[in-house]
Structure 1
Amino acid sequence: MKKRPRVGLLICSDSHYLSKITRGAHAACLEMDADFIILNGGKIKENQELDHYQKSIVYQYANVMDLDFLLIPYSSICPENNDIAKAFLKSFEVPIIILNQPSPLYSSVSYNNFSGTKEAVDYMIENCGCLHLGMISGKKDSHGSIERVEAFKTSLKNHTLAIQDDDILYASDYTKNHNELIRDWLILHPYIDGIMCASDELALCLYQQVNAVTNKKIGRDIFICGFDDEPIAAHCIPLLSSCHTDPSYLGYMGAIEGLSTLKKDKHFHKTIDTFFIPRESVGYNAQTEDYLYRFLLDCKESHLPVDYVASGITNYVFDNRLVYHLPIKDNVNQLFTLLLTVHEDQLVDTSTKRDMSQIIEGIFTYDLLNYIDIERFLSATSFVLDCYHSHQKNVHLFYRKIYSKIITSYHMIISKRELHYHEEFTNLNKVNRESALVNKYNHIFDVLANNLQHFGVKNAKLYLYQEMIPYYHNKPFELPDKVYLKLKIENQQVIPCSQQAYYLHNIFNDIKPYQLISAIYSNDYQIGFFISDLSLDQSELIDYISSQIGSSLHFSAAVNKLKQFSTTDTLTGLLNRRGLIESAHRLLNSLNEKENAYFFLADIDRLKYINDNFGHKYGDEAIKVATHIINRIFKDNSVIGRIGGDEFVVIFKCAGTSFINHFKQTIEDVTLSENHHHHLPFKTTVSYGISVIDVNHSQLDLTQMINDADALMYERKKKKKMKNPITN
């Protein structure tokens, strides 16, 4: 059977940018019938926070997954282009495709940052009349910053405009967390009349500071352009001009090219152009709706085919963005095709109304709502009515029903989302509360399964290492060969798990077409990893779920350790008096009708003689030998405790009394075997007695029973000492 192609993707946080890359790569894998595995980790840099380097362990699993290639959004995973980042890339034993940065060593898909930036700066000089331009860039040595700054300088040079070094402000990243830096720079550069920003977030930060420290009006006195064309750019005030990029196309092209090119063992280097979109922040006041209206009028006058017009409207609604395999774009196209064919002299029949209603319901769904701009959609619907049916009263009435259906469907999904967010918040509180009440459950994995079901996780597996492994920054971490499946959920049903160990390569041979994987850790300890099929829209939960699992397991281990200290004898590992009583109650409650419960009491012969003549170290060894003897005799259906220096109690259950017939011989054989094995300078033996426990007795008191046995044992020892004071 031919192996399905398998694509891996590294992501390091929940961000709009990485979500788009993930969506694009996933679409390509669906199109090419390939497995898609997302490894959710941390950033790789010199001064990593504990959270990041612990999360990053998951990246090592890429080498045992039999991947055809691995997609790495370089600027997000490796923010610094240094030796650490280079060593990280070299650590992979599978082909690598770098996203958003060209590389001479690996295949790559990257933006042409130069083209869009130069187009934007040219526009501000030529159309806005800017003579003193500045730029706010990201980190100075990042690939994107270098290209965008070079484009900025080239445009100024081509227009013979001077530039000073401090006219370019370098921020540490592309985020909007640079208010003070940008404010100080603005105050020192009052003459600047146009500013190119390396990201929309930097531009929005600049918006705030322009309003705070200057009297200039954006789009009239000072002109601003961003980069990335984030959704907020077309909704802020004034509308932010930007350079359009589509991160999903990076992921899509990376996966498509990898699946088609790497089979030939060839590297490839693809570049995606960026382009400038003028808006109000550079004085451009024409609305995009004007283009659509003129487009519709031209189409009507030229009698162009309905399918051509519907396709143009659809492209407007989606702003020329790729929507890949999703049905929403086809549904929008189909709806406008039907709307364009409605005529005055042909009343809309019931079948067509039903079809349109179903199409609208297919457009406004919970999962697809993110992909459509409701304002553009309503504008397009209105323009079709004005251009094609302005004098048709019957059609106007029909359109009113269409608008009503659209608004109703839209608000219904918004209401569902609000309810979902409320439920999610409630579930977070439940998870936090139940995670702190581990003792409420018989097992920590009951807690985790319950929590995952709160989040609606449909399929998941939790694999843990045999023990927690300490891991520290810049120290090597070797993945264990085997892990243990501790929790399994299939179709939201918890499946019982055995304690069987699994080899890593076998686990990943049996992986599903879409999986999201994250490391399970707590503080400085690696615990295991979590595999789920959380959807792309739910992927923001994975960090919380992983950290919650890690914290719960660490907390549970700490509780169990404390409990073990309070219920276990440190020398032998047997239960102490308290632990024995707690466990005995559980054992007795599990009795069935055919079983009897028994009380076994034993002490070590001549322990005082051993301590006096050989020392307490050998006395401890005698206690350990006695422990081995008793453990071998009572393997199952029993609880064993050490209740004094040389005293042991066993409460056990079995069907019938036939064991009594060979019990004495069993003890003698095991005692001989253990003494032969340990080679001590004396023989360790035990004296014992067995009695039946009347579990039906209403006044059954295990504590009193053990205390009474302890007293009887003490009296018997006194008698033995009187008979043989030397050896006892």
Structure 2
Amino acid sequence: MNKKPTIAFLINQFYNTYNNIIWRNVVEITKKRKDLNLLFFMGKELLTPYRGDIHYNSIYSLINKNVIDCVIIGAPTGTFVENEVFTNFIKKFEPIPVVTFAFQAENYPAVLVNGKKGIIEAIDHLVNVHNVRNIAFIKGPEYSQEAHERFEAYLEGLKKHGIKFDENLVVPGNFAKDRGYNGAKEIILERKLLPEAIICANDEMALGALNFMIEQKIPVPDKIKIIGFDDIVEVKLCYPPISSISQPFKQQMEKVIEIALNLIEGKEVEKVTILDTKFIPRTSCGCFENDEESTKLEFYEKYDVQPLIKMSETLIDKLTENLDFYFENTIKSKDDDFINYCRYALNLLFLENVDTDSFKERVSNFIANKIEFYKNDETISKLGNEILNKFRVIVKDYEKRIAINTIFLERNQRITLELIGQELSTSFNLRELASNIKRHLDELGIKNFLLCLYEGKVKWDKRIDYKIPEKARIILDIRDGKEIKHKNNIIKTENLFPKDFLSGDNTQGAIIPLFFSKEQFGYFILYPLLPDNLIYETIQKYISNSIKGYKLITSEKSIKNKLIETAKKLKEANKQIEKLAILDELTGLYNRRGFMTIATHLIELARRRKRDFLLFYIDMDKLKYINDTFGHKEGDVAIKAVSNILKKTFRQTDILARFGGDEFVVLAVDCSIDELSAVEERLKNNLDSYNETSVKKYSLSFSYGVAPYDRDKFHSIYQLLEEADRNLYRAKHAKHKK
């Protein structure tokens, strides 16, 4: 081939651990290769029910044969659609070759895992080892092939052991943690059943089920045993550690990449590759976890961070040369010379940014060989085992400290991103936006960045298909930190980027759509990839907000001949821009930023003029229940209803705000503590009136705390909020007691 092939990998939902593991394995497998480019197309699940997410999927419509040589797509993208719909979506990429994983579509090579084997092994284990026969099951999404296979395996496992199937022990699920929680709740609290064990179709739901057991004080594994599927990192680190069915993620992704390259080269490939799963027993099913397991976890997988650079064998060789000296010294003096030396070596490797896996493996093998060598000397053999156990302890301690350090680094990066984002989201001029992006790229570790805006409107069929304009305009093109200027900055969207944009031995990049609500703007591409992949969506939102602000302004400037009218509309556009920054989109109330700005001014005014006011901190009750039971759309209806009750209760001069989620704040201006009872009565009457006339299957309620302004006690709005929050807590506690 004359050029390096470019593979498109469809990825979604980074806050889902399964997708995160897939991402990191693909990155790790392909980063050493010099024979391909890899582009992650960062969309969401097709027809996702989560509000606002669906328009990420416009990015899939940019995949075309001019740029992409093979497409890799996995089951998560089709979680919420029927197999036929998913298959038809995949067919749209033809004639580009396609590889699927965790899902089999007609005529496309697929890499699957034998989930049935792991589920049956788990049931065998429960029956044969723990004498458990009353086994419940929380299913996966309705349209998922893998979910169906796992449920069928459950039925087969029961039949194998002569256990009668009981439909009351099975509840629907969707691979999300909250569904595991609610599934366990449905079985135990609503159906009044307490099975001996629950098998969940994935680990996320198993974690949710465990949270429910902890909340209800049902001991695991004594009263009930829990088993998940996927063997993600969280199930190894929670307490108790959850038994799970392990998927060979790395092997699966290696095979997917291998098939993709073979298809590009025109080689024959296997129609279906099936890899085995394995049941891993842990404490949650009544088995003690192998202490060595967490030691053997790869650092980057365990703590969800990018791996360190590959080891410097020279430095590690030098450090391991001294092991024998310190080991023999410890045998003679019975002190901790050997362990202290290992601790020193680990710290040195960390400071040098060297991967410690090789050193840890060498030390473990060295100690094991010494124990074998001295096996006839009971004293030395015993000491050797003590040294091995101490080494495992310092390794765990080392990894914990590294994890804490990583958390601080990621937190600092997100703080930096927040500060950058505030600047980007108020750049309502494309030239200013491009300048600000360019200035901050280096702080985020981004060396190459391309920002393109569509020349025309994107058409959407209200389901899956987006018709992208034929052309896009390059707003910013950065290569190795330097801006590239184009005489003609218009490109065809079928080309995605200037032909030499992806350069270097190995390019791993991400392409992300830019949109605001239903309005599509364009896309940006960046590489190399960032260590914290949640940052991509944050950058996307900041840039999209800025472009929306720009469009609001430029749309008002289109009327050139009517100066007075234009001036009025420009003023109105500015107000709209200000509202974007200070108003809550759902309720129309002020958001946290708007409230804090106005309240800070009012509290200073009240202090000077000796005026009174009351601060109400209000918390909706049971919003989670409404979301979980009736859906997030109904949750939004409930939030709006509460905001309307507050508007009806308080005066136009009062400051009402939604702080986020289920929290509201009201600043009642010129209102003293003597008037509190009257306000509370209005609030109660308006709430009762709503519930009496509502046709909803739920009632609204909320708790609140009140803080009257005391100019001698409170000097800032933050202090007043803290006081109101404390009173809110007391109110909720009192309500809970009743």
Give 1:336 deviation, angstroms.
9.6
Structure 1 residues 462-471 or 548-557, which shifts more?
Answer: 462-471
Post-superposition CA distance 1:319-349 (Å, at most 9, x none): 999x9997359899969965765576799xx
- Amino acid in the other structure paired with 2:561: D
CA separation in 2, counterparts of 1:316 and 1:436?
Answer: 38
Match of 2:518 among 524, 528, 532: 524
1:545 matched to 2:549? The reply is no
Scaled by the length of structure 1, what TM-score is found? 0.64
Give the counterpart of 1:280 among 256, 278, 283: 283
Aligned to 2:447: 458
1:174–1:198 CA contact under 8 A, matched in 2:
no
Give, in whole Å, the separation in 2 of the partners of 1:25 and 1:445.
31
1:215-264 CA-to-partner distances (Å, cap 9, x unmatched) read: 75322332221111112222222221111114343222201122235622
Match of 2:478 in 1: 489
Letter of the 1:136 counterpart: I
Tell me how large the CA RMSD over aligned residues is. 4.8
Summarize the Cα distance change of 1:403–1:73 in structure 2 as closer, same or farther, 3 Å threshold.
closer
Q: Contact 2:188 / 2:194 at 8 angstroms: preserved in 1?
A: no
Q: What is the CA–CA distance in structure 2 between the aligned matches of 1:227 and 1:335, rounded to whole Å?
A: 42
- In the other structure, the counterpart of 1:129 is 131
State the match for 1:589 in structure 2: none
Correspondence for 1:148: 150
Name the aligned partner's letter for residue 532 of structure 1: L
Q: Quick check: 2:31–2:508 contact (8 Å CA) kept in 1?
A: no
Distance (whole Å) between structure 2 residues aligned to residue 133 and residue 449 of structure 1: 57
Aligned residue number for residue 63 of structure 1: 64
Q: Deviations over 1:64-96 (max 9, x none)?
A: 453331110123344322443232111112111
Aligned partner of 1:707 in structure 2 is: none
Per the TM alignment, residue 186 of structure 1 is displaced from its structure 2 partner at its CA by: 1.8
Is the Cα contact below 8 Å between 1:115 and 1:275 reproduced in 2? yes
The match for 1:474 among 463, 468, 474 is 463
Q: CA deviation at 1:366?
A: 6.8
Higher radius of gyration, 1 or 2? 1
Q: CA deviation at 1:30?
A: 4.1
Structure 1 counterpart of 2:195: 192
Is the 1:42–1:77 contact (alpha carbons within 8 Å) kept by the matching residues of 2?
Answer: no
How do 1:322-721 and structure 2 match up within 5 A?
Answer: 327=310, 338=321, 341-342=324-325, 361-362=348-349, 391=380, 413-414=402-403, 416-438=405-427, 443-467=432-456, 469=458, 471=460, 473-474=462-463, 477-496=466-485, 498=487, 500-506=489-495, 507=497, 509-510=499-500, 511-512=502-503, 513-535=507-529, 537-562=531-556, 568-570=560-562
The separation in 2 between residues aligned to 1:435 and 1:317, in whole angstroms, is 34
Aligned-partner Cα distance in 1 for 2:196–2:464: 50
CA 397–433 in structure 1, closer or farther in 2 if over 3 Å, else same: same
Distance 1:118 1:407, change over 3 A: closer
TM-score, normalised to structure 2, is 0.63
Question: Aligned pair in 2 of structure 1 residues 326, 272: CA closer, same or farther (>3 Å)?
Answer: farther
- Does structure 2 conserve the Cα–Cα contact (< 8 Å) formed by 1:50 and 1:523? no
The whole-number CA distance in structure 2 between the counterparts of 1:206 and 1:405 is: 32
Q: Secondary structure at the match of 2:82?
A: coil
What's the % identity of the aligned pairs?
Answer: 18
Query: Could you say if the C-alpha distance between residues 397 and 16 of structure 1 is closer, same or farther in structure 2, counting changes exceeding 3 Å?
Result: closer
Give the 3 Å change call, closer, same or farther, for CA 365–484 of structure 1 in structure 2: farther
Distance 1:7 1:202, change over 3 A: same
Change (3 A) 1:424 1:324: closer
Distance 2:318 2:382 in 1: 20
Give the Cα–Cα distance (whole angstroms) in 2 for the partners of residues 393 and 154 of structure 1: 47
Amino acid corresponding to residue 173 of structure 1 in structure 2: F
Paired residue for 2:236? 234
Distance (Å, rounded) in 2 between the aligned partners of 1:132 and 1:570: 78
Alignment of 1:87-106 (within 5 A): 87-93=88-94, 94-106=96-108
Separation in 2, partners of 1:9, 1:41: 10
- Whole-angstrom distance in 2 between the partners of 1:316 and 1:432: 33
Q: Conserved in 2, the CA contact under 8 Å of 1:7 and 1:29?
A: no
d(CA) in 2 for partners of 1:254, 1:200: 23
Q: Which amino acid aligns with 1:516?
A: A
CA shift for structure 1 position 279: 1.3
The number of aligned residues is 546
Shift of residue 545, structure 1, vs aligned partner: 1.0
Q: Separation in 2 of the partners of 1:372 and 1:404?
A: 17
Match of 1:114 in 2: 116
Residue in 2 that maps onto 1:138: 140
- After superposition, what is the alpha-carbon deviation per residue over 1:391-431, rounded to whole angstroms, capped at 9, x for unaligned? 59999999999999979976875565344334323323323
1:271 to 2:263 alignment: no
Q: CA deviation at 1:5?
A: 2.7
Cα shift at 1:270 = 0.8
Alpha-carbon shift at residue 44 of structure 1 (Å) = 0.8
Q: Does 2:10 align with 1:10?
A: yes
Distance 1:260 1:554, change over 3 A: same
The 10-residue stretch of structure 1 (20-29 or 405-414) with the greater mean CA deviation from structure 2: 405-414
Question: Per the alignment, do residues 243 and 415 of structure 1 end up closer, same or farther by CA in structure 2, a change over 3 Å counting?
Answer: closer
How far the C-alpha of 1:446 sits from its partner, in A, is 2.0
1:208 correspondence with 2:211: yes
8 A contact 2:343–2:394 mirrored in 1: no
The corresponding residue for 1:301 is none
Q: Which runs of 5+ in 1 are unaligned?
A: 293-312, 348-352, 580-728
CA distance in 2, matches of 1:12, 1:508: 26
What secondary structure is seen at the aligned counterpart in 1 of 2:523?
strand
Cα-to-partner distance string for 1:609-641 (whole Å, 9 max, x where unaligned): xxxxxxxxxxxxxxxxxxxxxxxxxxxxxxxxx
Contact 2:180 2:204 in 1 (8 A): no
Instruction: Tell me how far apart the structure 2 counterparts of residues 170 and 40 of structure 1 sit (CA, whole Å).
Output: 28
